[in-house]
Amino acid sequence: MAGGKETPRQKMIGMMYLVLTALLALQVTSAILEKFILINNSLEQSTGAINQVNDATIKNIRATVEKSGNRPADVAVIRQAEEVRKMASEMISQIDGLKQRLIEEAGGGLDETGNIKNASEEEKVAQIMVGPNRNGEAYALKNQLNGFVTNLSKYTNAKFAPLAVDGKEDAIASRSAEQRRKDFAELNFAQTPVPAALAVLSQKQSEVRRIEGETLEVLASKVGAADVKFDKIMAMLSMESKVVVAGTKFKGEMFLAASSSGIQPRMSLSGAPVRMDNGRGVIEFTAQGGAYDKNGLARRVLTGSISYNAPDGTSKTVPLQAEYFVAKPTYQVETGTLPPLYLGCANKLSIQSPQLGALWNPSITASGADVINSGEKGKVTVVPSAQSVAINISNGGNLLGTEKFRVNRVPKPTLEYYVGNSKVDERRGMSASAVRSIRVVAVPDESFKNFNPEDARFRVTGFTVNLARGNRRVGAVTLGSGGGSIGSLAAEAQPGDRYVIEVEGVQRQNFRGEVSDVNMGRPIYNIPLN
């Protein structure tokens, strides 16, 4: 496959296909037909989600071209994107026709509950897809899938791998002497029940949408590629110093700065690359002292460059130099928590002025918050009641300044699920015989807990544990905040079942002891049983 790193969704689809191929190689029995149905349903949902992303991509291409004045080169990109979309949709539609035919002719249609009537049928699947003389639908499908890949490779600089391969080229089947001799049709559709055949076709549809998406992303990058648009405007203030002694002049320059979303500049400083963030270079290093002058300052010079691709395709480099001074350090330790401030929480601040020394006896008030004095000079607790807080700092009756703070909402906790004292890994699941008790814990955000431990007390008010088997609910148990036993469900649990946990509510207790509900919806968590 092309396109570099895969997304988690693509990795999941690939893993499901490997599992599907392995099961087909083992000629599975009807006991796991339901698993194939679940795999097929999951693949169809994933394909639908990718289709929505691809649809949004082509809409963004059209919008970008329109904003750029519908230039001929950009309009040509739209036509290519529409051709890609059309080819993918036709491929999806053709496979949908094959799936419907398998359901009707091989599976006998659907019953009143929506299930395939004869899901275990294998012979009719082979007749349709393989054929008596290897002239079934799968042979034409192989050519069409690989032709689709070849056509879309023309729009990118990368070559996509074939979507339909014979046993000797398949990652799983090639390991078996028997399976590697089979062609694409025999490998995927011979001795294959209806749900398994549907899952194979759904996986191919997912791959079609993936390749379509990668191709559209390449085309989107071509829109306006010859332009350098400065679409991010920022007001900047360059100061000679952020520290100004009273009675001296403040000096600086105020100007507009602009950057472009359409280019990715490359920056270096002192010969090393600079980390980029949203088109801007982030510079951070430890200042090195030594060779101080009589004022305790050491002059340093930064040397770097910024490179970018010009509209004519050439690379341009702009050098830069800037001087700065390293001051001989002095040390001051302050206690108390620092911003950010959290809404309705006890935010402890320490506001000190070493220059005033013994004369420092501040009066601190706030707009948009309550201020609780600690009895120590400059140390207060601020309890915000609005989205922004202005703290007024006075000393000796004189207003020294007003400090404005942005107020953050309390971050929602993370729900963790435990069986006994062991934390559950949803991906690995648990042994059906090992799950006897379940509890759910609301864990506060680590940063919030560190700043505001008295406000970071969360609890789960209750939750319901459902034992699910396929699409049926076998039973349910409702537990309180401390969790508890699910022995009645455990007695009925079987490997392949799953526990579906629905959390009913979460509450938080603040530093005053007041309890409030946390809006987390009704989270759902699955524990597969092995």
Q: What percent of the chain has pLDDT over 90?
A: 41
In the prediction, which pLDDT does 98 show? 94
> Residue 345: which domain range?
341-408
Is pLDDT larger for residue 252 or for residue 13?
Answer: 252
Closest-CA residue to 388 (of 413, 363, 412, 369): 369
Q: What CA–CA distance (Å, rounded) separates 471 from 360?
A: 70
For residue 377, give the H/E element and its range.
none
Question: Which of residues 190, 222, 254 is at a domain's end?
Answer: 222
Residue recorded with tokens 């949203």 = 278
98 φ, ψ to 5°? -65, -40
In the prediction, which pLDDT does 25 show? 45
Q: What CA–CA distance (Å, rounded) separates 257 from 517?
A: 45
Residue 253 and residue 203 share a domain:
no
Residue 244 and residue 104 share a domain:
no
Burial (CB < 10 A; 0-12, 13-18, 19+), residue 348, is middle
- pLDDT per residue over 379-399, tens digit each? 899 999 999 999 888 887 778
- pLDDT per residue over 110-124, tens digit each? 988 888 899 889 999
- For the chain, the straight-line distance linking the first and the last C-alpha, in angstroms and rounded, comes to 33
Q: Would 465 be classed as within a structural domain?
A: yes
Q: pLDDT grade, residue 82 (50/70/90)?
A: very high
In the prediction, which pLDDT does 20 show? 56
Question: Which of residues 202, 222, 242 is at a domain's end?
Answer: 222
Radius of gyration of the CA atoms of the chain, in A: 32
Quote the tokens at residue 528.
């597969």
The answer on pLDDT for 86 being more than 90 is: yes
Question: Which of residues 388, 408, 428 is at a domain's end?
Answer: 408
211 φ, ψ to 5°? -65, -35
- pLDDT per residue over 185-225, tens digit each? 999 999 889 999 999 999 999 999 999 999 999 998 888 64
Q: pLDDT grade, residue 331 (50/70/90)?
A: very low
Residue 136 and residue 55 share a domain:
yes
Quote the tokens at residue 192.
């294959």
Residue recorded with tokens 């398949």 = 170
In the prediction, which pLDDT does 18 show? 60
Q: Would 395 be classed as within a structural domain?
A: yes
Beta partners for 277? 280
Helix, strand or coil for residue 204? helix
Residue 19 and residue 166 share a domain:
yes
Helix, strand or coil for residue 55? helix
In the prediction, which pLDDT does 73 show? 84
Beta partners for 316? 308
The answer on pLDDT for 416 being more than 70 is: yes
Q: pLDDT grade, residue 332 (50/70/90)?
A: very low
Q: Would 24 be classed as within a structural domain?
A: yes
In the prediction, which pLDDT does 530 show? 87
For residue 66, give the H/E element and its range.
helix 33-67
Q: Would 2 be classed as within a structural domain?
A: no
Mean pLDDT of 6-19: 61
Residue 128 and residue 253 share a domain:
no
Which 8-state DSSP code applies to residue 354?
A: T
User: Which segment of 59-73, 154-168, 294-308 scores lowest on mean pLDDT?
Assistant: 294-308
Residue 430 and residue 381 share a domain:
no
Q: What CA–CA distance (Å, rounded) separates 426 from 417?
A: 9
- pLDDT per residue over 265-302, tens digit each? 888 888 888 888 877 788 887 767 677 787 667 888 88
In the prediction, which pLDDT does 51 show? 92
Residue 460 and residue 350 share a domain:
no
For residue 257, give the H/E element and its range.
strand 252-260
Q: What CA–CA distance (Å, rounded) separates 103 from 196?
A: 11
Residue 273 and residue 258 share a domain:
yes
In the prediction, which pLDDT does 213 show? 92
Q: What CA–CA distance (Å, rounded) separates 477 from 456?
A: 29
Residue 177 and residue 135 share a domain:
yes
In this structure, the number of other CB atoms found within 10 A of the CB of residue 255 comes to 9
Residues with Cβ within 8 Å of 395's Cβ and at least 6 positions away in sequence, in order, are 353, 356, 359, 360, 361, 362, 363
Residue 452 and residue 400 share a domain:
no
Q: What is the dihedral of CA 271, 276, 281, 282, to 10 degrees?
A: -90
How would you label 299-319 residue by residue, b for 16+ Cβ within 10 Å and e otherwise?
eeeeebebeebeeeeeeeeee
The answer on pLDDT for 453 being more than 60 is: yes
For residue 459, give the H/E element and its range.
strand 457-469
Mean pLDDT of 409-432: 89
Q: pLDDT grade, residue 29 (50/70/90)?
A: low
Q: Would 1 be classed as within a structural domain?
A: no
Q: pLDDT grade, residue 226 (50/70/90)?
A: very low
Quote the tokens at residue 411.
């971050």
Mean pLDDT of 40-64: 90
In this structure, the number of other CB atoms found within 10 A of the CB of residue 85 comes to 18
Quote the tokens at residue 142.
């192989």
Q: E strands, 270-413, where?
A: 272-273, 275-277, 280-282, 297-309, 315-327, 341-342, 347-350, 362-367, 369-373, 379-384, 388-395, 398-408
Q: Tell me how many domains the chain contains.
A: 4
The answer on pLDDT for 74 being more than 90 is: no
The answer on pLDDT for 362 being more than 60 is: yes
pTM over the 0.75 mark: no
Q: pLDDT grade, residue 104 (50/70/90)?
A: very high
Q: What CA–CA distance (Å, rounded) separates 224 from 67?
A: 10
Task: Give me the numbers of helices (H) and strands (E) for the chain, helices first please.
Answer: 9, 24
Residue 386 and residue 523 share a domain:
no
Is pLDDT larger for residue 228 or for residue 429?
Answer: 429
Supply angle C-alpha 311, 316, 317, rounded to 5: 155
In the prediction, which pLDDT does 90 show? 95
Residue 194 and residue 92 share a domain:
yes
